[in-house]
């Protein structure tokens, strides 16, 4: 049913859970997984373009590289084909755009990001994706353990 699965990760526990679900779906359907990490540049829009912005961006990009590297290891251990991408911009927009570019037929996202404060300030990325996607979206909730 699914051949190209796009999963959004952000380094959070729920992002890791979304990746686990995407990998399991890929195993079930013999699909390829595309993992996207978006450096949310909107967080910096009110900051002056100086070394502080560059340091914050660099830290987030490093976190993204580490998160994607772990995703590759996790997929390899399960025998799943996986490709990774780092983008910058509005997370919801970048996820939708990537899904279209990659021909994804399923998008997997966590129900919320790194903190509930992000949800209040930025709006919910998962809600944006659900509302704007032309393909199926699986929203992963935190496990109840």
**Using an 8 Å Cβ cutoff, are 129 and 107 in contact?**
yes
pLDDT digits (tens, 9 = 90+) for 76-126: 999 999 999 999 999 999 999 999 999 999 999 998 765 554 544 444 889
Interaxial angle between packed helices 91-102 and 125-132, expressed in degrees from 0 to 180 and rounded to the nearest 10: 40
pLDDT digits (tens, 9 = 90+) for 54-79: 777 788 899 999 999 999 999 999 99
Burial (Cβ within 10 Å: 0-12, 13-18, ≥19) of residue 11:
middle
pLDDT digits (tens, 9 = 90+) for 119-131: 444 448 899 999 9
Q: What is the pTM of this model?
A: 0.88
Task: Domains for the chain: give ranges and CATH numbers.
Answer: 4-140 (3.40.50.620)
Provide the pLDDT for residue 145.
Answer: 61
């Amino acid at each position: 049913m699914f051949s190209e699965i796009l999963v959004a990760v952000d380094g959070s526990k729920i992002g890791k859970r979304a990746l686990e679900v995407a990998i399991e779906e890929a195993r079930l359907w013999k699909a390829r997984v595309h993992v996207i990490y978006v450096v949310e540049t909107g967080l910096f829009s009110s900051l002056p373009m100086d070394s502080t912005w560059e340091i914050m961006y660099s830290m987030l990009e490093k976190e993204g590289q580490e998160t994607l590297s772990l995703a590759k290891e996790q997929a390899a251990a399960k025998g799943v084909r996986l490709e990774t991408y780092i983008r910058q911009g509005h997370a919801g927009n970048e996820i939708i755009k990537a899904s279209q570019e990659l021909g994804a037929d399923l998008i997997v996202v966590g129900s919320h990001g790194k903190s509930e404060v992000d949800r209040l300030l930025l709006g919910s990325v998962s809600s944006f994706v659900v509302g704007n996607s032309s393909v199926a979206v699986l929203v992963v909730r935190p496990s109840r353990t």
